[in-house]
Structure 1
Amino acid sequence: MKEQKYIHDALVTDSFPNGMFRVRLENNDRVLGYISGKIRRNFIRILPGDKVKIEVSPYDSTKGRIIYRYEKTDDKDWRDDWDSKDKTDSKD
């Protein structure tokens, strides 16, 4: 039986060589993400600031595979939501 992977929505913060990215999850954990084969094969560009879906293994929660890049919407900038989460969480 295959192990269950955790799927999170995340924000790409940094870009590294060879399809590696620093990704911030919804719960503000930082993960090293790498591009899945389908994304690489279809030449989908991922840049810092993009919202992605990432699959994290329960055995190693420091790395994950980027499996989907969300479309950018013009009506509302979702990056503002992520930044406002940081401001509200840092009231400690």
Structure 2
Amino acid sequence: MAKEEYLEFEGKIDEALPDGRFRVMLENGHSIIAYTAGRMRKSRIRSLAGDRVTVEMTPYDLTKGRIVFRHKDERPGTVPLHRPAPRRR
């Protein structure tokens, strides 16, 4: 399936489920099960309950999706945690 055929929606993560999946409430009111995209996993981008995300879905199954982007936190006064990278052996 070509990239152009995917549908993109924005939503908010309601809860974390087992196996790296999340329950996401879309802006249109529908609730879906979504997993983190490989690029986000590779870049170690963590998603938590309450995060705003962009989800890609196939038009054939509108109950499942892939989280492709986590939006920046817009709350004032929050400082991102800086953790040193793990040491390579």
1:22-61 matched pairs, under 5 angstroms:
22-61=23-62
Q: What secondary structure does 2:66 align onto?
A: strand
TM-score by length of 1: 0.77
Matching residue of 1:8: 9
- Identity within the alignment, %: 39
Structure whose residues are more often helix by fraction? 1
Separation in 2 of the partners of 1:19 and 1:10?
17
Unaligned runs of 5+ in 2: 77-89
Unaligned runs of 5+ in 1: 76-92
Runs of 4+ in 1 over 4 A off after TM superposition: none
Residue 19 of structure 1: CA displacement? 1.4
Separation in 2 of the partners of 1:56 and 1:66?
9
Residue 17 of structure 1: CA displacement? 2.0
Query: In the alignment, is residue 72 of structure 1 matched against residue 73 of structure 2?
Result: yes
Q: Output the aligned Cα RMSD.
A: 1.3
Larger of the two Rg values belongs to structure: 2
TM-score by length of 2: 0.79
Equivalent residue letter for 2:67: I
Count of aligned pairs: 75
